[in-house]
Amino acid sequence: MENPTSADSLREFDFVFAQAAGYVPWPGILQRKLLCTGVVQFMLTNGRQSIPYAKIWPYDDRSKEQFITSQNMKHKAFCKAIFIIEKLRSDNVDVLSESADWELESPLEVPPGKCPALEQRRAEWELNYVREVRLERDSLVVEAKFIQELNVLRRSLTVRKQVYPSALLALQELQGLALSELLLVRNFGAVEAINSLCSFASAQPQDRQEAEQVKSLANQLMHRFASHFKQPFSTSDFWSEYCLRSKIYRSHTADIKPN
């Protein structure tokens, strides 16, 4: 499907149709312009992908006539994505209404002033998320132990020295703790350390078995971490979702008034 539109005619944060490999052209927002591709955030799924400019069209009457076909509209997800983008383009919708028959899975990133209704929705979504996750505060009773074992793990696996018995024991202790989403989003550095161990390897042949054990336990821990987060995720994988939620929590915690 050829696209006669040049990249110069597209601006960042324009509404567009974009076609990822294996999919029909889908409505989205052009988040960032690169040299040969544009980063598009797709409606409804909120997934992001770099798309060649030949596969990006302005969201206008001409492209709507071309892509909003009776065949495509038979698919509920496509139909809902079109409904969302039309609401956002109108910039005249109460996105906070409980009776609204559409929703965004997570806040989209738009520049200040571009879409006031969406900015309001994003801020409210983030604050509601922080309020909800703080309901798990009783789980923080194990936070000191969680941090203690992570520090043991860090000291055990350094560039200069790897003490595998204490590292493996720390990982096993972490497996036995009663965790929560709140505990995890509060401790980004700790979770990041475990995530980095998911690809751990030893340069010493005699240590490869122990290194594989560290890698295996780290992966098991990350799967356990993921089980504490409500799904569906708004991003493509748990690590991306975790980074999003942890950033929201850490940036908004000060805005929450004590109960």
Q: What are 141-179's pLDDT values in tens digits?
A: 999 999 999 999 999 998 788 899 999 999 999 999 999
CA separation (Å) from 222 to 8, 137, 178, 226?
43, 21, 14, 6
pLDDT-based confidence at 115, cuts 50/70/90?
low
Residue 140 reports pLDDT greater than 50: yes
* Section 44-52 average pLDDT: 84
Residues sharing a CB contact under 8 Å with residue 141, sequence separation 6 or more, in sequence order: none
Q: In the chain, what percentage of residues exceed pLDDT 70?
A: 82
Average pLDDT score, the chain? 82
Residue 114 reports pLDDT greater than 70: no
Write down all domains in the chain, each with its CATH number in brackets: 1-90 (2.30.30.140), 137-255 (no CATH)
Rounded distance, CA 69 to CA 110, Å? Answer: 28
* Section 233-252 average pLDDT: 85
> 225 or 73: whose pLDDT is higher?
225
Candidates 5, 6, 28; CA nearest to 16 is 28
